[in-house]
Amino acid sequence: MIARSPMKVIYEPPLRTIMIAGAGGFAGRALCDWLARDGAFRVVGVDDFGAAPLPREAGNFVAFDRSGDCDALTALMATEQVDTVVAVDPGADALIAATMRYAAVLHPQLRDVLRLVVVGRGGRREPAMTVTHGALYGPGASDDDLIPRTIAAALAGEAIWVDRPGLGVPDWLHIGDYCDAIGAVLLRGLPGGHYHIGARDGRTLLSTVAMICDLVDRVAPRADGRKHRSLIRFGAACAEPHRAIAEVPARLEGELGWRARVSLRDGVIALIDDALVGQRRARPGHHPCACSGPKSSATGAAVAAPAR
């Protein structure tokens, strides 16, 4: 009988326990998934989930009314031994107040460990770190947002509506880059510091829609031979148009070594490919292995059918 030496298991506890307010929204949900992905962070997500079931695939999610109960939130932080709070939800004032109360009852040696990151507001909150960011897009965004709405309309051959005059200039930021930047701030950001997350990829709403149309032309040309740009229509004037963001991510790039990795074009190409896959799966009689031949991606490059 062969003797075997016992296997040595090394357990490394998470670096931080993070409470995220707004965990049910687009940015908050993606951030929970990203932070819990490799086990380096323990995540507690807080939001008003309403009748929706609590997500279970990443972190421990707790339903709280949006108005918040400072005492209950403070108790939850103590129970979960939270050392970092990220307020993603613009209406997270109750959580911020609870964080200050929680900090007041911490042992003096632990107060310096507690971190508060307020996302989406430019105002200074000592000792909180504040984060602003460009216009978010990517997998999981609302179907009503400009980019997924344009892709869906173009693939369906329907009118593509743009708020008049379509000249707002958002700094488009992929959700993956957003999460990566928040992670950099959590690990290396300075208390009281202000950081702006941007991809330096600003373009007008109209040029964004036109680019999407051109990319869809490559993979799903219209039966009548016309370009998808001909589907663009102008709606009512936008009450609050996007404006070019004056801030640039210089501090993130210089101090924390962060840079956006996903260009708007590459991010849109991935979303178009995902939409096409969804369309094929929705067709009656579709089988995942029923590949009739090579297919093309929005890059224009041929994608070989999987080997049988």
pLDDT value for 274: 96
Range list of β-strands (E), the chain: 16-21, 41-47, 60-63, 84-87, 115-119, 129-133, 135-137, 160-164, 172-174, 194-197, 232-237, 295-296, 302-303
Crossing angle for the helix pair 93-105 and 70-80, to the nearest 10 degrees: 60
pLDDT value for 295: 47
* Alpha-carbon separation of residue 240 from 29, 165, 249 (angstroms): 26, 12, 24
pLDDT value for 101: 74
Mean pLDDT by runs of 10 across the 308 residues of the chain is 63 74 87 83 80 62 67 82 82 71 64 72 64 92 94 95 78 95 90 90 91 96 95 74 66 93 96 93 64 48 39
Separation of first and last alpha carbons in the chain: 43
Tell me the three state secondary structure of residue 192.
Answer: coil
- The distance of Cα 191 from the centroid of its chain, to the nearest Å, equals 23
- What six digits make up the tokens of 292? 């009739």
Among candidate residues 167, 165, 156, 300, the one with its CA nearest the CA of residue 231:
156
Tell me the three state secondary structure of residue 116.
Answer: strand
Could you tell me the pTM of the whole model? 0.81
**Measured between alpha carbons, how far is 81 from 128 in angstroms, rounded to an integer?**
18
pLDDT value for 245: 54
- What six digits make up the tokens of 99? 């964080």
Rounded to 5 degrees, what angle do the CA atoms 181, 270, 35 make?
A: 30
